[in-house]
Chains A and B, each alone.
Chain A
Amino acid sequence: MAQGIWVFVEHADGAIRKVSLELLSAACGFAKKTNGTVGAVLFGTGMDSMVEQVTGYADRIYVVDDERLSPYTADGYTLALTHLAREDTPAILLAGSTSMGRDLFPRVAMRLETGLAPDCTGLEVADDGKLVATRPIYGGKVFCKVSIPDSYPQMATVRPNTFPLEEPNRSGERVQIDAPLQEIDIRQKVEGFDKAGQEKVDITEAEVVIGVGRGIKDPANFKAVKELADVLGATIGVTRAVVDNGWWDVNDQIGKSGKNISARLYFAFGLSGAIHHVLGIQTCKTVVAVNSDPNALIFNYADYGLVGDMTQVIPALKEHIAKAKGEV
């Protein structure tokens, strides 16, 4: 009988990825409703500190401590996760809609012959304990609610910042698992990793994002934007016009052909609000738009709007926000 809500937990550089903690928080909430248990799944080596970080969010922490699982490979993790899922049969299995989650979960779902709702922006557990997932399709023009009618585990990958981080209030029991990794030849081998620029949160994961459009007019004005970003703890994203001008990296392009973001707080500076951009930000919780054109479309998609010159407004915002946050 399938039971338990599991979260596949991701970690990097010794820290648990925030999206995994968000999903564990959500799992705890669901478990209260269904009277179920929460499981956290951790793969890697030297897992003690990881286990500590999740112990308050789960009832059982399944750990596969094996150097063949460090770093991530699709083959290794698929074997370990499917082995675990067949042994302990969770009802629900979640992961963040991250590069790893989106690489791993479709394969695991196929092997387990179950269903998967990928890249969800919303998740509920119905009264019968089954998942109802909300996900964007057609680039976000339409949202659809899906269910997995009759297979287990019910799998889903969920976007960062969909669920709030709650206070940890469980005490998980560590369960050491041995996965039969020796049976397979892991056919992917990680040879290296290039960090992107400096330490910065990817715009898809960031809680606070500052979007900059063509209205910045001069790349020199990015200096003030960066200072505001520092005060807010924000990641900077840009529109295609900025990328095309060669003023910023395409990695941070938001919208249509760039990335979708679901930040808690999004500032839009000097961008008109063309539909492509808007689709990329529509799941942001609070949107603040600043534009010198009072008729800019972006104001139709914002929660707060200010008409003004961004080069003037940004330093003033920085000053006042710093004061509000209690920093000087």
Chain B
Amino acid sequence: MNIYVLVKYVPDTEAIVKVASESELEIENKYFTSYFDEVAIEEALKLKEKFGGKVTVVTVDNKKIDALRRGIAMGADEAVQITDPGLEESDPFGIARALAAFLQKEPYDLILCGRQAMDDDAGVVGPATAELLGIPHASAILGLDVADDGKSARVDRQIEGGKEHIRCSLPALLTAQKGLNVPRIPQVMGMMKAMKADVRKVDLTELGVDPAMVGASGQKVRVLKYEPPPQRSSATMVEEDFPENVKHLVKLLQEEAKVL
């Protein structure tokens, strides 16, 4: 199977991200491969182990290829960096255009990615790319079973109230949810390979993408301003001893907060 995994290098979940001003964020220099993307890489590797074939990791990033290196370290075969100054400030729809333009010329059987990137938390690139490629998609998958003939896959999706089982025809684009698998820890040999890996670079000209459709000029969604998370004023503490404090609390919830 020829599997492509879309990956993104994002600030670590432990990194400090603060609002510096309405238009600027201060982000600590601590990055990692978005966890859901690692789950996607792992799933691709498992499929390769079962069916044979090739895993290619793809990223859209003008600065860092560490997510690609992570993919190679885990066991991916090839890495592609889509990079072009014209891609700066693309919104997810612009990113999807660049990815689709690349993938459309590739012999993919399956495309995997994380259910959302852990920076913008949008979950748009996956389904939007599938739409541009004209292939079906399923998002937030918790289970994947590719049929032996490679023409369809049974997919489990987490939905409200339970799990849904779907049969999806291939090729398709599937986005991975946490719990689909546990990503392997890269072997040192893999890491060494990744450090020396040859990364194929692709730009907008090679992709044939109209620069007006990506980057800042291609934005469908514009950020107006950044805000810190809503602050709460300090808690009203009930001071009495037990059980008067419980009584008092309930009274407050009923009469003051009006939540009962």
What residue in chain A is nearest B11 (Cβ atoms)? A138
B232–A301 touching, CB < 8 Å: yes
Q: How far is the CB of A77 from chain B (nearest CB, A)?
A: 12
Residues of B within 8 A of A302 (CB): 232, 235
**CB of B64 within 8 Å of the partner chain:** no
Stretch of B51-59, B158-166, B187-195 contacting A (4+ beta carbons < 8 Å):
B158-166
Residues of A within 8 A of B246 (CB): 306, 308, 313, 316-317, 320
- Give Cα A98 to B158, complex, Å: 10
Specify which chain B residues have a CB less than 8 angstroms from the CB of A214 in the assembled complex. none
Which interface residue of A137, A192, A289 has the most chain B CB atoms within 10 A? Answer: A137
Whether B182 is near chain A, meaning CB under 8 Å from some CB there, is no
A144 interface residue per 8 A CB criterion? yes
Q: Does B98 touch A at the CB level, under 8 Å?
A: no
Structural contact, B161 and A195, CB atoms closer than 8 A? yes
* Contact between B230 and A283, CB atoms less than 8 A apart: yes
A307 close to chain B: CB less than 8 A: yes
Interface residue B184 (Cβ < 8 Å from any Cβ of A) = no
A78 to B136, CA, bound (A): 11
A36 cross-chain contacts in B, Cβ below 8 A: none
CA distance A194 to B136 in the complex (A): 23
Partner of A321, one of B121, B140, B250: B250
B250, A324: Cβ atoms closer than 8 Å: yes
A191 touches B127 (CB 8 A): no
Residues in A with CB closer than 8 Å to B221 are 115-117, 146-148
Q: Which residue of B119, B158, B159 has the most chain A CB atoms within 10 A of its CB atom? A: B159
A303 / chain B contacts, CB cutoff of 8 Å: 232, 235-236, 257
Q: How far is the CA of A17 from the CA of B159 in the complex (A)?
A: 13
Residue picked from B18, B91, B119, B243, most chain A C-beta under 10 Å: B243
**Which residue of A115, A142, A188, A202 contacts B166 across the interface (Cβ within 8 Å)?**
A188
Partner of A194, one of B165, B230, B250, B260: B165
How far apart are the CA atoms of A98 and B25 in the complex, in Å? 28
Of A23-31, A105-113, A163-171, the one contacting chain B is A105-113
- Whether A144 pairs with B160 at a CB distance below 8 angstroms is no
A306 pairs with B158, CB closer than 8 A: no
User: In the bound complex, do residue A202 and residue B160 qualify as a contact, i.e. CB atoms below 8 Å apart?
Assistant: yes
A-B contact pairs, 25 of them (CB 8 A): A99-B158, A103-B138, A103-B140, A107-B128, A110-B128, A119-B122, A119-B123, A137-B119, A139-B118, A142-B25, A144-B226, A145-B226, A188-B138, A192-B165, A204-B160, A303-B257, A304-B252, A305-B235, A306-B237, A308-B245, A312-B242, A313-B246, A316-B243, A317-B250, A321-B260
Nearest first, the 8 closest Cβ-Cβ pairs linking A and B are: A115-B220, A187-B136, A106-B127, A110-B128, A99-B159, A320-B250, A110-B131, A192-B165
A residues contacting B by CB (< 8 A) are 12, 17, 73-75, 78, 98-100, 102-104, 106-107, 109-111, 113-119, 132, 134-149, 151, 187-196, 200, 202, 204-205, 250, 256-257, 264-265, 276, 279, 282-283, 285-289, 299-308, 312-313, 316-317, 320-321, 324-325
